[in-house]
Amino acid sequence: MNPMRTFISLALVLSLMTSLSVQAELSRTDKLKAAYLFNFTKFLQWPDAEGRFAKAEIALCLDGNPEFFDFMQELVKGRKVGVKSLPVKIKPYQERVTCDVAFLVEEYPSLKQSDTPVLLVSDMSNSSVEPSIAFYVIDHKLRFEIDFDAVSDLNLTISSELLKLSRRKSRE
């Protein structure tokens, strides 16, 4: 690994986590994933709804590792994203929990929590899930792949900036 690139990546992560206190147990990749997850919310736009259906927050659901959960919670604390400046709420991925984005590390069957579509994010290696965005590592760098059709099915608007950085997945 290019030492310079390593240094840049670390610096990027560290810059995002200047205020994080929980960090000891997480790997650098997890931390990057946590940062990517948060950053994804900045480039996603859910369809407009009115009245009580209007979105008041972006729910990011997580499973598995409680350190990761805590790390995420620390990461999003006090921060707002998107055009509508919505707060990001970290939730456990459970039944009846409404999620906008769900990051699943374990192999779960597809959950049906609500009518609202959920953007699934997972590692490429997790074959039990058909994520819309999948992380993968190439040349020691964390990258992601976007299933454009899945995202389109979710009726989400995804920023071209995000698409520009991702690898496009083909269903075939």
Partner 1 sequence: MNKLISWYKRISFFKKQLLVATLVTSITLSLASLMLYGKFYTDYKAGLMSGLSAKEALVSETSRSALLFGDEEAAQAILNSLSAFPATRYAVLLDNAFTPVAQFSRTDIRVDIDYQSLQPGNHFLEQELYVFNPVMMDGEQIGYLIISADTRSLAEQRNQYIWILLLVFVLSLVVSFFLHWRLQYFIAAPMNKLVELVGYVARNRRYNKRLGNTGSDELGTLVTGVNSMLDTIEEHEKQLHAHSERLESLVALRTEQLFNRANYDALTQLPNRHLLVDRLNHGIDNAVRENSQMALMFLDLDRFKVINDTLGHSVGDELLVQVAQKLSAVVRKADSVCRWGGDEFVILLEHLHSKDDIVPLAEQILFSLSEPIEISGNQLHVSTSIGIARFPEDGKDSAALLEHADISMYRAKEQGPSQYCFFEANMLDGSVQRLSLEHKLRLALENKSFHLVYQPQVCADTGRVCGIEALIRWQDEELGLLNPVQFLPVAEDVGLMHSLSLWVLEEACTQNASWQAQGGQKARVAVNLPASFIMHPNAVNQITDILDKTGLAPKYLEIEITENTFISNTDHAIKVLEQLRAMKINIAVDDFGTGYSSMSYLPDLPIGTLKIDGSFVRQLGDDEANDGIIQSIITLGKSLGLSLIAECVESKEQASKLRDMGCDMIQGYYYSKPLSAEKTQEFLSETKVA
**List of residues contacting partner 1 (CB under 8 A):** 5, 7-9, 11-15, 32, 36, 39, 42-43, 79-82, 85, 141, 159, 161-162, 164-165
Cα 113 versus chain centre, distance = 18
* C-alpha separations of 60 from 4, 102, 103, 130, 137 in Å: 32, 6, 8, 17, 22
Cβ 95 to partner 1 shortest distance, Å: 31
Nearer to partner 1, 11 or 56 (CB): 11
Strand partners, 86: 81
Q: Token pair 């590692």 is at which residue?
A: 123
99: number of CA atoms within 13 Å, CB side?
24
Task: Specify the residue, 21 or 85, whose C-beta has the smaller distance to partner 1.
Answer: 85
Least distance CB 107 / partner 1 (angstroms)? 26
Residue closer to partner 1 (CB basis): 74 or 113: 74
| Residue with Cβ nearer partner 1 (93 or 135) | 135
Shortest distance (Å) from residue 118 CB to partner 1: 22
Helix axes 66-76, 28-42, angle to 10 degrees: 40
Q: How far is the CB of 74 from partner 1 (least distance, A)?
A: 16
For partner 1, give the closer residue by CB, 111 or 146.
146
- Return the C-alpha torsion angle 13, 41, 146, 28, nearest 10: 20
C-alpha 159 chain-centroid distance: 14
State the nearest-atom distance from the C-beta of 128 to partner 1, in Å.
26
